[in-house]
Amino acid sequence: MTMSDSDDSVTLAQLAERETLRRIFPRLPESSVTLIGPGDDAAVLAAPDGRYVVTTDMMIHGPDFRWAWSQPRDLGWKAAVTNLADVAAMGARPTALVVAIAAPKATPVAHLESFADGMRDACHELAPGCGVVGGDLSVSDTFTIAVTAFGDLEGRPAVLRSGARPGDVVAVSGPLGAAAAGLRMLFEQAVDASGEPDAHLAASIRSAHPAVVEAQLRPRPPLADGIAAAIAGATAMLDLSDGLALDARRVAEASGVAIDLEASALGDDRVLALGGGEDHSLFATFPAGTALPAGFRRIGRVVEGVGLLVDGEPYTAESGWDPYRGWDGHVG
Amino acid sequence: MTMSDSDDSVTLAQLAERETLRRIFPRLPESSVTLIGPGDDAAVLAAPDGRYVVTTDMMIHGPDFRWAWSQPRDLGWKAAVTNLADVAAMGARPTALVVAIAAPKATPVAHLESFADGMRDACHELAPGCGVVGGDLSVSDTFTIAVTAFGDLEGRPAVLRSGARPGDVVAVSGPLGAAAAGLRMLFEQAVDASGEPDAHLAASIRSAHPAVVEAQLRPRPPLADGIAAAIAGATAMLDLSDGLALDARRVAEASGVAIDLEASALGDDRVLALGGGEDHSLFATFPAGTALPAGFRRIGRVVEGVGLLVDGEPYTAESGWDPYRGWDGHVG
């Protein structure tokens, strides 16, 4: 074939699945645990300590992303990161991904190539050694991505949500509210007069405020800090996918404790820090006196009781700013 | 709550994700390899021999199933089986599944409960000890299921597609063309005058010919025979998902051999046996002289050469009857 990789005109409908996969697979990262890779009925992976960590997550065009805002390479990055973060939050090293994509027939194959590039970028930067070991490619009216991620606990116990104990220090590694600030900027400034997402406006907003917008489109949580937290003796951990307030309540409930956050540690926009989701930063609790691993900063403590407190007062707000509530049908 | 499980009127939009999952999870089968189950960021599974088998597959409303023909319980069954078969075809014991579902907001929660029941039925009947260890639930205009399945090789080498050698016997366990015969019956007799799938016609056809129709909607491949084949020394194996002709060619190509099938072993409708997909029967090659494991019957032999032969003559037909080719937009 003489067409270049950047030829945007070749669609899935024009290229057989086998040829499409032939173009995509070389771009994907290789996994350090592969014993038998893609191409057979299934892959075979090594589990050196006799256990493996598994998580799965979908991204759907409309509720989870919009092509007017996300480039295919952003989407591959984010689809990898959201799953890698769940592995890291167990205290495990992310080792492998399988990726199922259902795309409209008119999707340019170049978009899938860029998607693969984004997955590779994310693995290389945030989880070196993690690679794609299998996948599935289907046709659908709705662009849909399902990723399953695997990890290696390297002999350590998994760090669950249920282990926080009164007296523990509450700490976080990574931003609070940055992804939500980026999404707010897109919703406020990258929509047309009728409120529909607009690709040209998104490009210019992104060009003017790359860090703000990319915190939403290409979140960069410090995933290696999950292993450091486990080694340092974290008693509980999760990744902040639905916002600090909601996720901290999950740890509190699973552990049978209350979590008391310090308002002064939450930055200038506390509502955003508490309510904004999709940062995938790592939230962890450590026994009092633990030297926090590099990357983690103290934001509160675990106390006896129920639910979430801020500076000792119950915090009961449902969540912060939630653009998805009621957002329906705008899928541009 | 006083509403019964069979209350068809409660939709996903009315029930929070957490409550939906609370209703679905108790219906799902438990896995024998679960160390940490659903509810944390990820599950942790045992890999007793230090390896695990992984495969993933999507089912999309439209190309892969139609509600007019499939009951939710059928769909759960089939989503499990198509993935379990890939694990079995490696010679592994299926141990666990993760399931991501994206469904329209108006989907009755009862449909997801029935879907879970179908997955449980399939695991109990075809892969005892295999269970669901995690999942994800999303909203989408297109009903989409992504399953990732895991297996345990129990210390044996994986059986690949590439190990067939000239002189080997070719054998199969399970039906050839039965799923395609069921689909043909649905396409011929369960569509209305305009060619759209019709639920009432489908129900009456199924009632009149349950075995024919259910071979398509609830395929029942003898998955335990995959382990028996591995123990008996199978040199290559795969599950027949795209039809005997296409899948046999895959083994021939991966192994660098030709496969010569015996027409007399293919039943009365050879075109259907060669071209019909979705049986998920197990196709395997064994060294000459091997006592075939129970369930397997000889259908040919491996010879030097390239591609597929039938009674020594090259068989080059693209495939048998293919209802999906050109099928587009009829998703009832």
Task: Kindly report the CATH number assigned to the domain that includes residue B280.
Answer: 3.90.650.10
| Interface check B151 vs A, CB under 8 A | yes
CATH number at residue A51: 3.30.1330.10
Residue A4 binned pLDDT confidence (cut-offs 50, 70, 90): very low
Nearest to B40 among A58, A138, A160 (CB): A160
Last residue of some domain: A97, A125, A152? A152
Task: Give A93-133 pLDDT, tens digit per residue.
Answer: 999 999 999 999 999 999 999 999 999 999 999 999 999 99
Nearest to B53 among A44, A51, A64 (CB): A44
pLDDT value for B309: 98
Nearest CA to A52 out of B120, B156, B101, B148 is that of B148
Measure in Å the smallest separation between the Cα of A235 and chain B Cα atoms.
14
Residue identified by tokens 């070749």 is: A10
Residue B140 has φ and ψ, to the nearest 5°, of: -155, 155
Beta pairing partners, A300: A170, A261
- What separation in angstroms does the CA of B147 have from each of A311, B77, B84, B93, B133? 44, 12, 10, 17, 11
B330 in any annotated domain? no
pLDDT value for A120: 97
A258 in any annotated domain? yes
Q: Are residues A183 and A311 in the same domain?
A: yes
pLDDT value for B64: 92
Q: What value does the mean pLDDT take over residues A139-160? A: 97
Q: What residues of B are in contact with residue A102 (Cβ under 8 Å)? A: 58, 60, 142, 144
Q: Are residues B255 and B203 in the same domain?
A: no
Beta pairing partners, B97: B132, B149
Q: What value does the mean pLDDT take over residues A24-53? A: 95
B10 in any annotated domain? no
Measure in Å the smallest separation between the Cα of A273 and chain B Cα atoms.
21
Give me the DSSP letters along B266-297.
Answer: S-S-HHHHHH------EEEEE-TT--PPTTEE
Last residue of some domain: A152, A182, A197? A152
Q: Are residues B204 and B270 in the same domain?
A: no
Q: Are residues A89 and A191 in the same domain?
A: no
- Residue in chain A closest to B153 (alpha carbons) equals A44
Nearest CA to B161 out of B73, B78, B72, B259 is that of B259
| Interface check A185 vs B, CB under 8 A | no
Q: Are residues B26 and B108 in the same domain?
A: yes
**Interchain pair A50, B50: CB under 8 A:** yes
CA separation for the pair B150, A56 (Å, rounded): 13
Query: Which chain A residues in 258-297 lie under 8 Å from chain B, judged by CB atoms?
Result: none
A5 in any annotated domain? no
CA separation for the pair B305, A142 (Å, rounded): 43
Last residue of some domain: A103, A119, A152? A152
Q: Are residues A185 and A296 in the same domain?
A: yes
CA separation for the pair B76, B99 (Å, rounded): 10
In the predicted model, what is the mean pLDDT of chain A? 92
| Interface check B157 vs A, CB under 8 A | no
Counting the structural domains of chain A, the total is: 2
A9 in any annotated domain? no
pLDDT value for B257: 98
A101 contact partners, CB below 8 Å, separation of at least 6: A112, A115, A135, A136, A137, A138, A143, A144, A145, A146
Supply A180's token pair. Answer: 């939500």
**Interchain pair A64, B148: CB under 8 A:** no
User: Where in the sequence is the domain holding B276, given as residue range(s)?
Assistant: 169-175+221-314
Q: What residues of B are in contact with residue A330 (Cβ under 8 Å)? A: none
- What separation in angstroms does the CA of B169 have from each of B186, B290, B328? 35, 8, 40
Q: Are residues A123 and A34 in the same domain?
A: yes
A194 in any annotated domain? yes
Low-confidence spans in chain B with pLDDT less than 70: 1-8, 319-332
Q: Are residues A301 and A172 in the same domain?
A: yes
pLDDT value for A8: 66
pLDDT value for A317: 84
A219 in any annotated domain? yes
pLDDT value for B9: 78
Q: What value does the mean pLDDT take over residues A129-138? A: 94
Q: Are residues B137 and B242 in the same domain?
A: no
Residue A7 binned pLDDT confidence (cut-offs 50, 70, 90): low
A12 in any annotated domain? no
Q: Are residues A115 and A166 in the same domain?
A: no
Q: Are residues B204 and B303 in the same domain?
A: no
Nearest to B46 among A51, A92, A140 (CB): A51
pTM of this structure: 0.93
Q: What residues of B are in contact with residue A238 (Cβ under 8 Å)? A: 40-41
Q: Are residues B142 and B22 in the same domain?
A: yes
Taking 90 as the threshold, does the pLDDT of residue A157 lie above it? yes
| Interface check A181 vs B, CB under 8 A | no
